[in-house]
Copies of this chain bind each other. A is one copy, B any other.
Amino acid sequence: MPIKNGEQFLRSINRLKPSVIYKGEYVTGNLSEHFAFSGLLSMQASLYDMQGEENYMDKMTYLSPHSSEPVGLSFIFPKTKNDLRRRRTMTSLWASRHHGFLGRAPDYMNIALAAYASAADVLQPFNPEFADNLKNYYVYCREHDISLSHAFVQPAGTRLSAVTDSFEDSIAAKVHEFNSDGMIVSGAFLLATRAVTSEEILIYPPPVLTLEEENPFTFAFAIPIDSPGLTLVCRESYVQGDSAYDFPLSSQFEEMDTLVLCDHVKVPRDRIFLYGSAQAANELAYESQFHAQVSHQTISRYIAKTEFFLGTAENLARLADADSDILNQHISDIIVILEILKSLLLKAEVKAKKNRWGVIVPDKGATLVANTYFPKIYPRMVEIIQHLASSRLVMIPSEKDFESEVSLDLKKYLQISDTEAHKVIALNRLAWELSASSFAGRQVQYERFFFGNPQHVTNRLYQGFIGREKLIKNVTRFLNL
């Protein structure tokens, strides 16, 4: 059974019973009925349904080299620029459904996993078994259309404990035992977004350098989300209610973020991708060109989101009583952002290059710049929505109010020219969720730190810039120096 549909996905999710803590208590019952997850699960289900729909299937799947059945295009090892374009068509279609609000729609990790698997042979010199595990796991996920989440980061200060404390006392994530059955892992990992509604999780922290020959603080693996010893601690949900009128965004797109706790989690032998060698861990990260590959999906997502902001801004501008020239200057800022993102995406594809594994990699310059540019400019879009929605944002009635005794008054007083109150308020509520709600705040912060601390992202861009020496000499030659 290759690509899933929504129903299959929901069935799988409800069958799994991960250990999830929400406000101090274990979540019981079907996740699809829990207020914090039901909207998100419906949205994810609709994504899975989409890929099987007649008018989308061709654009969203390809035939598995393994089973000859249709599998998701986000799993493809792109070998040509056309493959890249097909993959982008697929990610764009999903992004147009979730309007870019899902930072962790399943295609994100599908692409990441394909990137790792394509470079799996870099692990051969370290441990051929790991290379095979990775390749096999990729095939497994692709053929079962697994919804995968991940955790890469450890809480501040814990990694340091690998070098300052005894192995016993260390709170850095670590492997207690590594043997023929597998390995036993403990540790904490941050920001596993959408983990609760995933089927599996990949854990792959950046390696810690130690003196041991077999470094117990370096590893990577993937396991089912309901593996014993694995606990997901949720932040509070930003779902404010299930009225799609009142909460058009959070009722559908609220990805939960979690802290992952591993307490002597047992990882089967065939699910281990890395163990003991920081060098292997670094080489896999570097050689897979993970960043450039997933950024290809990310830019599609940025574009869908920017288009949603632009459409909202235009709708709001039609309600505003301010000078349209000033409004247009604001809105034009969004047009500039949109056009820039589209151009970066185009360059990422047109200037893509084949790597040593025979896989086409989107242009690094364009992808690194997109990852630097968007997180900085995103708050500006939020601000524009605030400006356009103006003080009307501060007091917005709810759907229920339109059914209350004052319903007629609301309709009378809150219409704006020809626009009915019901529509005015719908747009204001959207503006609120988009620009001022907890949902909005989390999106701002999430985009800002999507690829890590902005300073590090900028340094990555700076270090990765190609052509520096040429430009330096360009100037010294000009000066005859």
Contacts and interface: CB of A to CB of B under 8 A. Distances in A.
A344 to B, nearest CB: 5
Contact of A394 (B445, B462, B480): B445
A394 B449 contact: yes
A455 interface: yes
Contacts of A396: 235
A57 interface: no
A23 interface: yes
A431 B476 CA distance: 12
B386 A448 contact: yes
A392 to B, nearest CB: 7
A423 interface: yes
A257 interface: yes
A211 interface: no
A359 interface: no
B417 A157 contact: yes
A423 B465 CA distance: 25
Nearest to A383: B379
A231 interface: yes
A335 B465 contact: yes
A1 interface: no
Interface in A411-459: 412-417, 423, 426-427, 430, 432, 435-438, 440-442, 444-446, 448-449, 452-453, 455, 458-459
Interface residues of A, number: 127
Nearest to A191: B395
Interface string A106-139: 0000000000000000000000000000000000
A100 to B, nearest CB: 12
Q: Which of A312, A322, A373, A446 has the most CB of B within 10 A?
A: A312
Contacts of A47: none
A5 to B, nearest CB: 23
A372 interface: yes
Contact of A157 (B415, B437, B471): B415
B481 A426 contact: yes
A65 interface: no
Interface stretch (A35-43, A216-224, A287-295, A402-410): A402-410
Contacts of A259: 395, 397, 410, 413
Given A444-B386, A449-B390, A340 B311 contact: no
A-B pairs, top 4 by smallest CB distance, nearest first, are: A24-B400, A436-B441, A343-B343, A311-B471
